[in-house]
Amino acid sequence: MKKMYPKNGRVILHVDMNSFYASVEMAYDPSLKGKPLAIAGSVEERRGIIVTCSYEARKFGVKTTMPLWQAKKLCPQLIVKPPNFERYRAASKGIFDILRHYTELVEPVSIDEGYMDITESFEFGTPIEIAESIQKRILEQLDLPCSIGIAPNKFLAKTASDMKKPLGITILRKRDIPNILWPLNTSEMHGVGKKTAEKLKTIGIQTIGDLAKANDIQLKTLLGINGVRLKERANGIDHRPVDPESIEYFKSIGNSTTLPHDTTNQQEIFHVLDSLASTVSVRLKRKNVLATTLGVTIRYKDRKTITRSTKIGNPINQKEEITEQAKQLFMKHWNGNPIRLLGITGFDLVEQEHAYKQLDLFSYEKEAKKEPLLKTLSSLRDKYGKKIIKSAGSHLVDPAHQIGTSTSFNKDFLQAFSKKEDKND
């Protein structure tokens, strides 16, 4: 069996659940099977957005992120359910438990997808036999469908899993790239968004093949280091390992909400910013990180959306500090028109114990009083490990989860799937 595996390369699987939230609801209530079903963030209000929908609903043109009213217009018989966070969390844990039966090298990237490195898993069969076994077990044990990509790296595995849905298994080798990937438009490439595709067109890059042969200097000038990285992906080059610990790293933490009605009332707007800042603060503290850049998103009545950010001298995670920065940013960039949506996001995160504060004259005295305690905590962590003492903030409940209006709950479930936590269950 070992002969079926490469001597020097890797075998990576990307397991992607099909219409995950809708599929979980169907598994929970089989009477929903075969019917057009959608999960929406807020079923009764205007701000309801389709989070996901069944394949039966997609036949009517219903899509993810579509406003609920529009989806119902396309499919009057659409069954709409609110998200059930705990149900999805439990299903996801069951999925990743199955994946870890085949290898310890499992990297969840969201609640419903993850990578596996099965290079050393030949005892379970060939790569295709392992993929078939995983797909069958998830379907039989959890009644959930998934698609699986098999490839020599993460990028190609992710691309392969998207090629056949639902219940597909696709193998994508490097030698297949010129015939399968290169003829496609760059907008169809994983990692290339609409805006990036438009930028690439300005230098004559239309297809993935064009990107694969593009000039490095031009790409770096246009997109920075990410341009060169995208060229590597277009050529099937991706050296990223499957990292079970990567779910502990967060690039940004934020929260946004659609207002119940368009408004120019500053008091109402500030009240929303207060609420968003509270949610972001809780999430930052739970993950023991601070933000060194804060961003505010403003969407107007006409759907025009702007995001503005500011670099912060002293890293922050307190609600009051986030609120103050967010309000300043908002007032600086608001044009006075009616607002439909607001969001706050913390970027460039740093671990709390590594955060270095550029102390000014006014914060020095307050910080100096904390210094003996901080030194004691640091000493204990050095001696007994980072997790020996945690701040109370790490156990706070997310306000957005309490009211069921979180627009980014996908990220917040990732911690539940870490290998360490599973071992402690």
d(CA 133, CA 15): 12
Q: Is 16 annotated as a binding residue?
A: yes
Secondary structure letter of residue 49 according to DSSP = B
Cβ neighbourhood burial of 20 (10 Å; 0-12, 13-18, 19+): buried
Residue 154 and residue 240 in contact, taking contact as beta carbons nearer than 8 Å: yes
**Gap between the terminal Cα atoms of the chain:** 34
* Helix (H/G/I), strand (E/B), else coil: 253: strand
d(CA 125, CA 122): 5
Residue 44 is among the residues annotated as catalytic for this protein:
no
Q: Is 117 annotated as a binding residue?
A: no
Residue 341 and residue 288 in contact, taking contact as beta carbons nearer than 8 Å: no
**Residue-by-residue DSSP string for 160-210:** HHTSSTTT-EEE--GGGHHHHTTTSBGGGSTT--HHHHHHHHTTT--BHHH
Helices (H) and strands (E) in the chain, counts: 17, 12
Name the strand (E) or helix (H) holding 285: helix 266-286
Residues 25, 56, 107, 113: which is the catalytic one? 113
Nearest to 146 by CA among 121, 119, 169: 169
User: Which are the catalytic amino acids?
Assistant: 113
Annotated binding-site members for Mg(2+): 16, 112
